[in-house]
Structure 1
């Protein structure tokens, strides 16, 4: 019974998060639907994480139980955000190449590991490739949709309407978090998140 409750809890959180991401990505979704190249690139960017996750599933699971590695992963996120914080290129999503999409996909694959932010790594990857801040953020939002939707659909049969408040809470928290993330990216203040990850890395080093 406890396992069923945990699954239902996770399902509701994914549902709320998905709704929040969808609202922030609505214009990006419309933009992608008007350009098949963007959709194709999203597929390419999703492949690395999927392939690595399937191929190294057991080893990846082991990293979640190895707290010795957490400081390294948090510091990796911090470094990526620090390096990309001030970047603001000229490239748009319509100009993204196959190689660009694959490169960003490799950054997303890093987030399979605990302590590495998916949104942080994909935004950093796009910024380091010379994309505009707005487009880097938009692409990260678009990439989040299939990941979040997939996680939710896997548990959809376990959802309970009595726990709908969990989805609503996740939605509200998600909206606030995404708003802060958007402001931080567009104003070049990703360093703030970098400092937070650095602190998290330090604290995880102390408690290992």
Structure 2
């Protein structure tokens, strides 16, 4: 349930995982369980954006007419920009893997990262003014290849526990002038290959022959999917209304609390 809610709310799911493990003294989650829960969070994205997912897949057939269709077809543009955004994210995830893993053991680092997340969310207030007057129907044209690459870098940095993936990618898109509904749509669609890639890497670390409580894990995935759907609908509504910065009131006190905790422990 917590995984599903925090995966899409701009509050950092990885940061909350660290809080659970280091502050509440919870045991590390099973690698396989973590992978299954991530698969569960993919379901609401695919369902809520099922039309866009189908359009994106259909974009493969329009690649031969790339120049003619680039400014006319949303599916083609989503396909190309998602691929472009995934490149820096993947390179950063693989190249900086050990660095990111070390941060998962530092409440100080997570606290600072949460403050950064809050600052990014606060910046969306000014950034949203750039998308005023832009039509959602043609909003896909505001997303360019260069912007997608920059947003992909933001997603790469969001591997840091405490940096919200949805918060950083949506905020970056808005700052770059992407129409607000397209910013949310692109953020969640580009999360799909990132989640798949992370899940594959996690599954590779699973030891074969281990006893697996499939029923419990399946229920966990179901809860993650349901909570994720509710959180996703909530975040999209906040983006449309221009209220992303409201979450700063949650992540800043949490970040300050973690910093104080790390200095006093």
TM-score by length of 2: 0.70
Aligned to 1:152: 199
Number of aligned residue pairs:
205
Which among 57, 60, 74 is matched to residue 100 of structure 2? 60
* Structure 2 gap segments, 5+ residues each: 1-26, 60-74
Say whether the 8 Å CA contact 1:20–1:175 is kept in structure 2. yes
Superposed CA RMSD in Å reads 2.3
Say whether the 8 Å CA contact 2:158–2:165 is kept in structure 1. yes
Say whether the 8 Å CA contact 1:44–1:102 is kept in structure 2. yes
Which among 51, 70, 82 is matched to residue 42 of structure 1? 82
Please give the alpha-carbon distance, in whole angstroms, between the structure 2 residues aligned to 1:7 and 1:64: 15
Shift of 1:150: 2.8
Say whether the 8 Å CA contact 1:38–1:94 is kept in structure 2. no
Aligned to 2:68: none
Shift of 1:179: 1.5
Pairwise mapping of residues 182-201 of structure 1 onto structure 2 (< 5 A)? 182-201=236-255
Shift of 1:12: 2.5
Residue 29 of structure 1 pairs with residue 53 of structure 2: yes
Residue 15 of structure 1 pairs with residue 34 of structure 2: no
Please give the alpha-carbon distance, in whole angstroms, between the structure 2 residues aligned to 1:22 and 1:112: 22
Shift of 1:123: 0.5
Shift of 1:160: 5.4
Shift of 1:56: 2.1
Which among 155, 164, 176 is matched to residue 108 of structure 1? 155
Residue 142 of structure 1 pairs with residue 196 of structure 2: no
Please give the alpha-carbon distance, in whole angstroms, between the structure 1 residues aligned to 2:147 and 2:117: 20
Please give the alpha-carbon distance, in whole angstroms, between the structure 1 residues aligned to 2:224 and 2:100: 26
Please give the alpha-carbon distance, in whole angstroms, between the structure 2 residues aligned to 1:161 and 1:61: 27
Q: Which moved more, 1:183-192 or 1:60-69?
A: 60-69
Say whether the 8 Å CA contact 1:76–1:116 is kept in structure 2. yes
Residue 206 of structure 1 pairs with residue 253 of structure 2: no
Which consecutive aligned stretches of 4+ in structure 1 deviate over 6 angstroms post-superposition? 156-159
TM-score by length of 1: 0.88
Aligned to 1:169: 223
Write out per-residue CA displacement over residues 76-123 of structure 1, whole angstroms, 9 at most, x where no aligned residue.
Answer: 111111101350513722342221111111211120111000011111
Cα 1:63–1:7, aligned 2, differ >3 Å: closer, same or farther?
Answer: closer
Aligned to 1:75: 115
Please give the alpha-carbon distance, in whole angstroms, between the structure 2 residues aligned to 1:135 and 1:47: 20
Please give the alpha-carbon distance, in whole angstroms, between the structure 1 residues aligned to 2:107 and 2:215: 35
Say whether the 8 Å CA contact 2:55–2:76 is kept in structure 1. no
